[in-house]
């Protein structure tokens, strides 16, 4: 997402900058192109917007994405493999407030562990997640842990490699994120963690591949995603834990709801990072199930949850992030008057 224009007194972003494009059009020879209202405007992806906006502020004539060159002088998008295929682009300042949460991030049904956990989460975040534990025990993990600049470089390289493997035309986005992360050499671990979380909150390939690896305990991804997962979780070392109630709306199958019913009183985990919101009304917007998550004050543990709304690209979502592998106890499963399932859990 692009830069913030205005901050309101309650800390929510008032205005944000977005870039949009129209679909490619075939330009006949020797004709002058103009914008057309015959097609819908489509928003660029979050990281692409940052790339374009940075070039715009640096008064560059153009900027390259994976498949297009953006002509910032004439506000055109031009295919790299066929310059006759062009389309208009535009820059807009829009309201930063949101009436609902992003569905893919806040309403997907996370997989819970099949084995019960006998106690609450204690110790440091890196002991909760099998994927992160495995990375820290590897030679690459030990080297990065002992020499922090190595961790930064490994994180940057991993993002670039994952973009290449993901095959989603995200190489320019990965290069941009890697560049920003490399610029953090010499800064504190907390600053680097904040930047990694900032990128994690964006809609990009990175969110998908990291959480997929954590859910599936895909050890083939240790080298590429271990450093990123570690740096996101490391934010807990300098962050104040959020204590209170957060929410997550989901669409669950009947069999999945029964799984939670059968586990009342048990301790479980969500193996991947899990997004929740302090805003119940927005969380209720999606799905047939609402998780009501009470986060208790546990003095014996490192921070288990943290408010990232001031770091997120979408602060109005009021996001509280649950670290990968944090434990929770299932308290109750009920239905309200609207026949929505309410699953009460405690962390």
Cα separation, 141 vs 68, in Å, equals 37
Q: How many CA atoms lie within 13 A of 282 on its CB side?
A: 19
* The predicted structure's pLDDT at residue 114: 47
The domains of the chain are located at 4-95, 103-117+240-346, 129-237
pLDDT for 175-185, tens place per residue?
999 999 999 99
Range from 75-89, 161-175, 227-241, 267-281 carrying the lowest mean pLDDT: 227-241
Q: Are 308 and 241 in contact (CB under 8 A)?
A: no
Task: Tell me which residue of 162, 169, 252, 251 sits closest to 207, measured CA to CA.
Answer: 162
Average pLDDT of span 235-258: 88
CATH of 4-95, one of 3.40.50.1000, 3.30.720.50, 3.50.30.50, 3.40.50.150: 3.30.720.50
Fold of the domain built from segment(s) 103-117+240-346? Toxin ADP-ribosyltransferase; Chain A, domain 1 (3.90.176)
* The predicted structure's pLDDT at residue 301: 63
Cα separation, 233 vs 123, in Å, equals 13
Structural tokens at position 19: 């870039």
What is the percentage of the chain residues whose pLDDT exceeds 90? 53
Average pLDDT of span 18-45: 65
Q: Are 128 and 324 in contact (CB under 8 A)?
A: yes
Domains 4-95 and 103-117+240-346 fall in the same CATH topology: no
What is the percentage of the chain residues whose pLDDT exceeds 70? 80
Burial 250-289 (b: 16+ CB within 10 A, else e): bebeeebbebbeebeebbbbbbbbbbbbbbeebbbebbbb
Q: What is the β-pairing status of strands 341-346 and 289-295? A: parallel
Cα separation, 165 vs 184, in Å, equals 25
**Which carries the bigger pLDDT value, residue 337 or residue 150?**
150
pLDDT for 105-158, tens place per residue?
655 556 556 454 444 444 555 567 889 999 999 998 888 888 999 999 999 999
* The predicted structure's pLDDT at residue 40: 86
Residue 96 makes CB contacts below 8 A (sequence gap 6+) with 4, 5, 12, 13, 14, 15, 16, 315, 316
pLDDT for 203-215, tens place per residue?
889 989 999 999 9
* The predicted structure's pLDDT at residue 124: 56
Burial 112-139 (b: 16+ CB within 10 A, else e): bbeeebeebbeeebbebbbbbeebbeee
pTM assigned to the model: 0.81
pLDDT for 289-327, tens place per residue?
999 999 988 766 666 788 998 888 778 889 999 988 888
Write out the chain in H/E/C secondary structure.
CCCEEEECCCCCEEEEEEEEECCCEECCCCCCCCCCCCCCCEECCHHHHHHHHHHHHCCCCEEECCCEEEECCCCEEEECCCCCEEEEEEEEEEECCCCCCCHHHHCCCCCCCCCCECCCCCECHHHCCHHHHHHHHCHHHHHHHHCHHHHHHHHHHHHHHHHHHHCCCCHHHHHHHHHHHHCCCCCCHHHHHHHHHHHHCCCCHHHHHHHHHHHHCCHHHHHHHHHHHHHHHHHHHCCCCCCEEEEEEECCCHHHHHHHHHCCCCEEECCCCEEEECCHHHHCCCCCEEEEEEECCCCCECCCCEECCCCCCCHHHCEEEECCCCEEEEEEEEECCCCCEEEEEEC
């Amino acid at each position: 997402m692009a830069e913030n224009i205005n901050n309101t007194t309650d800390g929510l972003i008032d205005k944000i900058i977005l870039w949009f494009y129209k679909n490619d059009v075939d330009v006949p020879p020797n004709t002058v192109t103009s914008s057309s209202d015959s097609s819908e405007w489509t928003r660029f992806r979050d990281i692409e917007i940052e790339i374009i906006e940075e070039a715009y502020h640096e008064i560059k004539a153009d900027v390259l994405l994976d498949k297009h060159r953006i002509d910032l002088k004439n506000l055109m998008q031009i295919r790299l493999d066929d310059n006759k295929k062009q389309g208009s682009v535009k820059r807009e300042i829009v309201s930063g407030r949101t009436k609902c949460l992003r569905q893919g991030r806040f309403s997907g049904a996370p997989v819970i562990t099949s084995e019960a956990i006998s106690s609450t989460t204690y110790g440091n975040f890196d002991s909760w997640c099998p994927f992160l534990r495995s990375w820290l025990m590897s030679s690459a993990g030990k080297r990065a842990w002992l020499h922090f600049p190595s961790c930064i470089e490994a994180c940057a390289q991993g993002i670039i490699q994952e973009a290449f493997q993901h095959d989603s035309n995200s190489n320019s986005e990965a290069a941009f994120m890697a560049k920003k992360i490399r610029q953090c050499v010499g800064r504190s671990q907390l600053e680097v963690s904040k930047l990694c979380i900032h990128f994690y909150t964006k809609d990009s390939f990175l969110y998908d591949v990291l959480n997929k690896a954590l859910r599936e305990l895909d050890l083939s991804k240790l080298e590429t995603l271990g450093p990123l997962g570690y740096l996101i979780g490391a934010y807990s070392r300098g962050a104040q834990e959020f204590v209170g109630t957060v929410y997550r709306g989901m669409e669950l199958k009947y069999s999945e709801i029964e799984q939670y019913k059968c586990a009342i009183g048990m301790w479980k985990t969500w193996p991947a990072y899990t997004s929740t919101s302090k805003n119940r009304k927005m969380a209720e917007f999606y799905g047939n199930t609402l998780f009501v998550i009470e986060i208790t004050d546990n003095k014996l543990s490192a921070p288990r949850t943290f408010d990232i709304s001031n770091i997120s690209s979408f602060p109005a979502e009021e996001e509280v992030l649950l670290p990968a592998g944090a434990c929770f106890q299932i308290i109750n499963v009920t239905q309200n008057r609207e026949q929505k399932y309410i699953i009460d859990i405690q962390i």
